[in-house]
Amino acid sequence: MESDPLLDTKRSMYTLKAVAEEAASIYAICWKISLATFCQLSVLTISTAFLGHLGTRELAASAMVMSVVGGFRIIPWAFSISISTLGGHAYGAKNYELVGVWLQIGLIMLVPVSALLMAVCLNIRPCLELMTDDLELLAMGETYAWYVSWSVWPSAIYEALRYGKHPSRSPAFSKLIHQLARGYYKAQEIMTPTTVVDVTTLFISIGVNYVFIYGCLGWPGFGFIGSPLALVFIAVIQSVSLWSFAHLLQERHTKTWFGWKAKNCLNAARLRQYLTLTGTFLVYLALDEWVYNVLAIMAGKKILLLLNHATTTMYVARIGSLNVAAYNILFTIWTLAYGVYIGFSTPIQVRVSHALGANDPAKAKQSAVVGCAMGSFAAGFLSVAMYVGRDEMLALYTADVDLQDVIRPVLGLFCLAACLSGVHITLSAMLEAMSLAGTLVLASSVGSWLVLLPVAYELAFATSWGFGGLYIGSVIGESVKLVIMAVALVWVFDWHVVAEQVSKQVTSDNEEFDV
């Protein structure tokens, strides 16, 4: 396409007043999304923290399971991004019923996806064997995964008996519904119900995890299996609370939900458009996320490098579990930081989608520029804060001095990689809003698999960098992705052409389906 400058000065879009107004609009969405996402992710983090104090091996077992199960979280993300993008285009064009139709199409896809997620949980041992040959850890991991699988069908039945469109959270099926509904709400800039529920259940999860793991009033608790059981319990609480708050009390769905209509949600043209976009997003997310699951496997396999230096098998196993546990803690912290990053990327995606749907490329670019500046500043500030407060941060996750000593030397590299990741997430939000998933696939293919992974492997296994080599690779790989995305947004794509294409698509839907 022809190049088109990212900054458009033909309209008064970049005066101090205009920028301040856009920044205020973004912040109005941002703080709710950041708070809700932070609390949402903290449910898993709280479980990690409790397990870390229960024992390093318990933490390592759950880390291995979640590194596998967590790899499949890209499925709800891809569904949610598609709904948020396509729904945002329709909402910007004031084609409100089409917003609900996109949600219906996403929900239809739930049945085969839920079966896949449950199968992963119940047949996880081959994946765990890639990370360790410790039989005790493997047994603990299988047990953890078995209890996690409990969330699949009960949640599916609950949602089906209700209305099939209300969000909840568990590691599998209901997590998918939760993400679909969040994408549906995001497309309309509805953030308050999710924020209220996520903040409330965060505090509930602290008590539930403590009671389920350690017990109370003389009851000893469930111990290790109390952690996944707490996740399932919280999933039910969240689904009921959000359904009651958003739909019974506030009726937030009435503007864009007109009921199930088979002629709309089973239309071949719409299904093809949705599945094509979702499939491309799925490939992008797999490339972008699974590289870190491979790094988790590499962290566990670092044990092999120590065989020549260890004096006993027990010592070798101890070092191996420390690497896995250390990577899990850092990945958990990175996941929490993602809650801040997504707070800025979400309003970028939503507001750019709305502007493109309304065929207003100048407004779309203004939202992108202001949002990216705010998100980049937040990413840098958060990384500095994490490094300055590193001792207090590590103490929250483990009291194991050996484990802290493994993590502390790589924290500087980790914080830099997290900062670059935050900026890359804000740029990817623009490409998502423009439905340019192919560009995201290109950036992640090159940055993650042709740069990040080979560099991390070489430095971790062939040099003296060891565990820190994983994060040097992350810094270099994230930098490459940033460059590719920035070049595409500034010099490759014509925003006016993209806006015209999006607007025509929404108008075509409107005319063809009389929505």
Q: Tens of pLDDT along 477-503?
A: 999 999 999 999 999 999 999 988 888
Name the DSSP class of 308: G
- Which tokens in the block code for residue 321? 């579990």
User: Taking 90 as the threshold, does the pLDDT of residue 205 lie above it?
Assistant: no
Report phi then psi at 133, rounded to 5. Answer: -110, 15
Cα–Cα distance for residue pair 374/26, rounded to 1 Å: 9
Q: ∠ at Cα 60 (54, 61), nearest 5°?
A: 90
Rounded to an integer, the average pLDDT of 458-477 is 81
Task: Provide the Cα torsion 371, 376, 382, 385; round to 10°.
Answer: -130
Q: In this model, does residue 454 exceed pLDDT 60?
A: yes
Are the beta carbons of 350 and 338 closer than 8 angstroms? Answer: no
Pick the most confident of 119-123, 217-221, 479-483.
479-483
pLDDT at res. 83: 78
- More confident: 313 or 197: 197
Name the residue with tokens 């493997």. 138
CA 124, CA 105: separation in Å to the nearest integer?
30
Of 247 and 459, which is predicted with more confidence?
A: 459
Closest by CA to 245, choosing from 295, 208, 199, is: 199
Asked whether 478 and 419 are in contact (CB, 8 A), the reply is: no
Structure tokens, 239? 């689904």
- The end-to-end CA distance of the chain, in Å, is 32
Bigger pLDDT: 97 vs 315: 97
Query: Which is higher by pLDDT, 52 or 355?
Result: 355
Mean pLDDT confidence for 134-146: 86
Q: Please tell me the distance from the alpha carbon of residue 244 to that of residue 353, in angstroms, as a whole number.
A: 29
Residue 367 has, within 13 A of its CA and on its CB side, a CA count of 29
Helix then strand then coil, in percent of the chain rounded to 5, is 85, 0, 15
Q: Between residues 37 and 140, which one has the greater pLDDT?
A: 140
CA distances to 67, 69, 349, 465, 509 from 293, rounded to whole Å, are: 6, 10, 26, 20, 39
Q: Whole-model pTM above 0.95?
A: no
- C-alpha 237/C-alpha 235 separation (Å) is 6
Q: How confident is the model at residue 300 (pLDDT cuts 50, 70, 90)?
A: low
Task: Kindly report each contact of residues 459-468 with a partner whose C-beta sits within 8 Å and lies 24 or more positions away, as own/partner.
Answer: 460/298, 460/302, 461/298, 461/302, 461/305, 466/302, 466/305, 467/299, 467/302, 467/323, 467/326, 467/327, 467/406, 467/410, 468/409, 468/410, 468/413
C-alpha closest to that of 287 among 416, 432, 450: 450
pLDDT band at 248 (very low <50, low <70, confident <90, very high): low
| Closest CA relative to residue 244, chosen from 154, 182, 167 | 167
- What the block records as the tokens of 54 is 């229960």
Q: What is the pLDDT of residue 158?
A: 34
The pLDDT of residue 112 is above 80: no
* Percentage above 70 pLDDT, the chain: 78
Whether pLDDT at 174 is above 90: no
pLDDT at 28: 86
Tell whether the model's pLDDT for residue 12 goes beyond 60.
Answer: yes
Which residues make beta-bridge pairs with 315? none
**pLDDT level of residue 384 (50, 70, 90 thresholds):** very high
Summary mean pLDDT of the chain: 77
Q: Which residue has the higher pLDDT, 246 or 287?
A: 287
Q: With H, G, I as helix, E, B as strand and everything else as coil, classify residue 55.
A: coil
Domain extent listing, the chain: 39-266, 281-508
Phi, psi of 254, deg, nearest 5? -65, -30
What pLDDT does residue 250 have? 56
Of the pLDDT bands very low, low, confident and very high (cuts 50, 70, 90), residue 1 is very low
User: What pLDDT does residue 297 have?
Assistant: 63
pLDDT of the residue at 137: 85
Pick 25 or 81 by higher pLDDT: 25
Confidence category of residue 335, pLDDT binned at 50, 70, 90:
confident
Which two structure tokens, joined as six digits, stand for 413? 């590299």
Q: What backbone phi and psi angles, to 5 degrees, belong to 219? A: -80, 130
Residue 439 is predicted with a pLDDT of 92
The band of 294, judged by pLDDT with boundaries at 50, 70 and 90, is confident
Distance CA 436, CA 427 (A): 12
Taking only the tens place, the pLDDT of each residue in 401-450 is 888 888 888 899 999 999 999 999 999 989 988 988 889 999 999 998 99
Residue 311: predicted pLDDT: 32
The answer to whether 344 and 30 are in contact (CB under 8 A) is yes
